[in-house]
Chain A
Amino acid sequence: MAGFKITNLDQLIAKIPQHATPLPPSAERPIEHYQRGASDARSLLLYFERNVRRTKVHPAKFERHATTLRNMVLIGLVESFERYVKEVAALCVDHIAPLVLDDRLSVFRMNMRGIAAQFSEGSLGKAICESATWLDTTEINDRFGKLLTDPFGKVTFQFFPQGKSTEAWRKTTMDTLFQLRHTIVHNVSVITRSDAARLRLLTKSGIEAPRVLSPSSADVWYVKVFIDETTAWANRRVAERLSELLTVIHAGDPGVFDPATKALEVAQQMGVTVVVAGHQANPT
């Protein structure tokens, strides 16, 4: 490179993490944090398309940049979902871990540095869940299944139901989206032969490779509708299962917590009506 030299790039880049803004109030409730993030992600696309339409642009060049942006938005939607799953898992850990003596947390790989970083905040859930990756439906099922099991009981809850469940399609569809995310993030949107082989299995249709992934604006909206619905559906199911589990724990030791207070906490955090040990609570 000729003509210029920046000698403090290390310092300039080291400052980037300081260029940050506070979290929005919606971050306190996982479902709302998801909805805000997903809405912002897609708004970026609409904003770009609407404003560019007002100017003179070459259609081919516009389409090339718009394709890149659609792929970025698609990643944003999937990552918003991942964050939701992570936050709701952390919330479940914080409610359950102090009340049980079994080995349910062994399903998580403990990151000691992450635990140390969260020590002052006092959230074991965040310490365990934040540093982990939640981009595999089988792993998500394993973690939630174990986490929300009755004390010393068998796994009954599946975050993504499988087999003959009428909701089994959600697992395959989410796996497809996780695979598309992988293609965009790790292969710069190029569907490699190995990506194609996996996508072929998931979608049961012929996928050519190598090809550059070029979703349409409608595709991005379909992804958002699917993740919106799946997040709301999962949120209700997790809230219900968490409440059932708390009810079982309370039945075994009625002095362990006040069910009315606990129900209110869960309802507030999950944003849905719950019943714990006969005490119903609604979110405000």
Chain B
Amino acid sequence: MACYGFLVNDLEGIDVDTRELAAWLRQREPETWWTVDGEPTLQAVVALPCQGADLAEVLVRHGHPKVRIVRPEGADHDTTDIGALAENDGGRVFLLAWVSAGQIGEPWELSEDPVARQAYEAAIAG
């Protein structure tokens, strides 16, 4: 089954330390607005969407130690660049799944929230 550019049945991708994903969000995308869909714990403990720096903290505190970043169709198989593993569809979308004791959990989405960014900019511009 295809979902965006991901092959959901395969959930093929790279496994990274959750702290690495958090560091990417904190350092590379601190002010980007992100939302999470399909991960009940994260959705319960933080008001979403939130900015990258805030989400990074929540990921480290409430996430599992390892997360799989599912490789979108057409992405370079050798890449370890987290940013290159996002599907871009008017905003970047990552398909992720926790990795626990070698088992891959249910996939969930981490997506850029362009509506929040535009609405935020409009609000602060008065």
In the assembled complex, the Cα of A47 lies from the Cα of B46 at a distance in Å of 19
A to B CB contacts below 8 Å, 7 in the list? A25-B40, A29-B44, A33-B44, A35-B45, A36-B40, A50-B90, A229-B47
**Could you tell me the distance in whole angstroms from the C-beta of B59 to the nearest C-beta in chain A?**
15
Interface of A is mostly: helix
Which residues of the partner chain A approach B101 to less than 8 Å between Cβ atoms?
none
Contact between chains at B47 and A218 (CB < 8 Å): no
Contact between chains at A53 and B89 (CB < 8 Å): yes
B121 nearest CB neighbor, chain A only: A218
Is A19 on the interface with B (CB-CB < 8 A)? no
Contact between chains at B37 and A43 (CB < 8 Å): yes
* Partner-contacting stretch, out of B6-14, B15-23, B68-76, B109-117: B109-117
**Could you tell me the distance in whole angstroms from the C-beta of B16 to the nearest C-beta in chain A?**
24
**Could you tell me the distance in whole angstroms from the C-beta of B103 to the nearest C-beta in chain A?**
19
Is A132 on the interface with B (CB-CB < 8 A)? no
Contact between chains at B35 and A43 (CB < 8 Å): yes
Contact between chains at B47 and A221 (CB < 8 Å): no
Number of chain B interface residues as a range: 20 to 34
Contact between chains at B36 and A39 (CB < 8 Å): yes
Known: A35-B43, A232-B47. 8 other contacts (CB 8 A): A26-B41, A33-B44, A39-B35, A40-B43, A46-B35, A46-B37, A46-B111, A221-B49
Contact between chains at B90 and A217 (CB < 8 Å): no
In the assembled complex, the Cα of A190 lies from the Cα of B46 at a distance in Å of 34
Encode contact with B along A79-120: 1 for CB under 8 Å, 0 otherwise.
000000000000000000000000000000000000000000
Which residues of the partner chain B approach A50 to less than 8 Å between Cβ atoms?
89-91, 93, 111
Contacts A50-B89, A222-B123 known; A26 to B115 CB distance under 8 Å? no
Which residues of the partner chain A approach B45 to less than 8 Å between Cβ atoms?
32, 35
With beta carbons under 8 angstroms apart, the residue of B36, B44, B93 that contacts A32 is B44
Contacts A39-B48, A43-B35 known; A24 to B40 CB distance under 8 Å? yes
Is A54 on the interface with B (CB-CB < 8 A)? yes
In the assembled complex, the Cα of A125 lies from the Cα of B87 at a distance in Å of 47
Give how many A residues have a beta carbon under 8 Å from the other chain's beta carbons: 28
B contacts, CB < 8 Å to A: 35-37, 40-41, 43-49, 89-91, 93, 111, 113, 115-116, 118-119, 122-123
Which residues of the partner chain A approach B91 to less than 8 Å between Cβ atoms?
50
Interface of B is mostly: mixed
Is A228 on the interface with B (CB-CB < 8 A)? yes
Contact between chains at A46 and B43 (CB < 8 Å): no
**Could you tell me the distance in whole angstroms from the C-beta of B89 to the nearest C-beta in chain A?**
6
Which residues of the partner chain A approach B93 to less than 8 Å between Cβ atoms?
50
Encode contact with B along A43-73: 1 for CB under 8 Å, 0 otherwise.
1001101100110000000000000000000
A221 nearest CB neighbor, chain B only: B119
Scan residues 10-39 of chain A and give those whose CB is less than 8 A from a CB of chain B: 24-26, 29, 32-33, 35-36, 38-39
**Could you tell me the distance in whole angstroms from the C-beta of A270 to the nearest C-beta in chain B?**
14
Scan residues 216-235 of chain A and give those whose CB is less than 8 A from a CB of chain B: 217-218, 221-222, 224-225, 228-229, 232
9 cross-chain pairs, A with B, having the tightest CB-CB distances, nearest first: A26-B44, A218-B119, A228-B47, A32-B44, A39-B43, A36-B44, A43-B37, A217-B115, A39-B48
Contact between chains at A26 and B40 (CB < 8 Å): yes
Contact between chains at B89 and A54 (CB < 8 Å): yes
With beta carbons under 8 angstroms apart, the residue of A43, A47, A221 that contacts B116 is A221
Which residues of the partner chain B approach A54 to less than 8 Å between Cβ atoms?
89
